[in-house]
Chains A and B, each alone.
Chain A
């Protein structure tokens, strides 16, 4: 068994019409033994960015602390909040710093970036454990149930979903995928963000 599957857990992010959603399960295990059913692995980074960290649980906590520090430093130095695209590259370079002794995490992020018109544009991205970025237009998945998530998301997702429909789509995708994965499940959490001023 891979070290990536040691604690279990999965995360998915999806794009909708002027909205994004990110969802994860809440299981923390030791291989097949369940330890906690309330292990959060999705964290708010700014008011408009969420970061999901599926993978080895010790690195979930370590990376959350690390990103909090780095984002705080960015905010102080730049005197503004970090943009989702910039944050994605921060995640990527942080992971690549440990290219030959990596953190065993495959981050998934969702955010609303500022459009030139003044409105908001949905943004999602994922990276592998050494920081190779994947900017998808539809959905991104990671974790022990990733193969199942791809299948269900491929079937359920459609372009231009409104926030309510996106919530339903991501929730059903996650719940049905984790039900076929022994290492994920034990409760879910969903975050939906939408623009008050559409582009």
Chain B
């Protein structure tokens, strides 16, 4: 089942999402990238109803880009998160709501610190030091309660993420095979391997 994690550390944010695209009990694709880079310092992991997810993610991506083109600077993480939450919340009370869960992670270049927002399909938003969506969250959140350190180095942060991924692989019946992991810090977004 779909699983995504994110955690903050000293001057960086790590985001991981599984890469399987499933329909019913069949894996249709095993290398799907479910983390979009919205702006040079902003990442968004999305999961939920197939179709809704991509439609909504692309809508958000284009609008964030449009803001950047019009204003010559990107929205900061808090502002982008507020705008995206509002899009989800307005959709919730519409005729056909988007069924999309999000993790929004960014690095604020003005204050030099990472920010992470947990957003669900209802438009619930919370700023958190670490977060997870999907069945993996039941395992990962308790692990992160124990091992997360806001002052950890990137290596330590990736080690904590590996603990989460390994635990999900070990205990979850329908565990995903592979993950895509992205890091955002002062230098922008990059993909990493564990």
Which residues of A approach B to under 8 Å, CB–CB? 7, 28, 30, 33-36, 38-39, 56-58, 61-62, 65, 101
Contact = CB atoms under 8 A, between A and B. Distances in A.
Main secondary structure of the interface of A (DSSP, over half): mixed
Nearest to B138: A33
B85 A56 contact: no
Contacts of A30: 120
Given A33-B141, A35-B131, A36-B118, A62 B126 contact: no
B128 A35 contact: yes
Contacts of B118: 35-36
Interface residues of B, number: 18
Contact of A58 (B124, B127, B128, B137): B124
B179 to A, nearest CB: 21
9 contacts: A28-B126, A30-B120, A35-B126, A56-B124, A58-B92, A58-B125, A61-B89, A61-B124, A65-B86
Contacts of A35: 118, 126, 128, 131, 141
A183 to B, nearest CB: 14
A107 B89 CA distance: 19
B125 A33 contact: no
Interface in B52-106: 85-86, 89, 92-93
A168 B86 CA distance: 38
A33 B89 contact: no
A181 B125 CA distance: 23
A36 B137 CA distance: 13
B123 interface: yes
A38 B129 CA distance: 10
Contact of B85 (A33, A36, A38, A61): A61
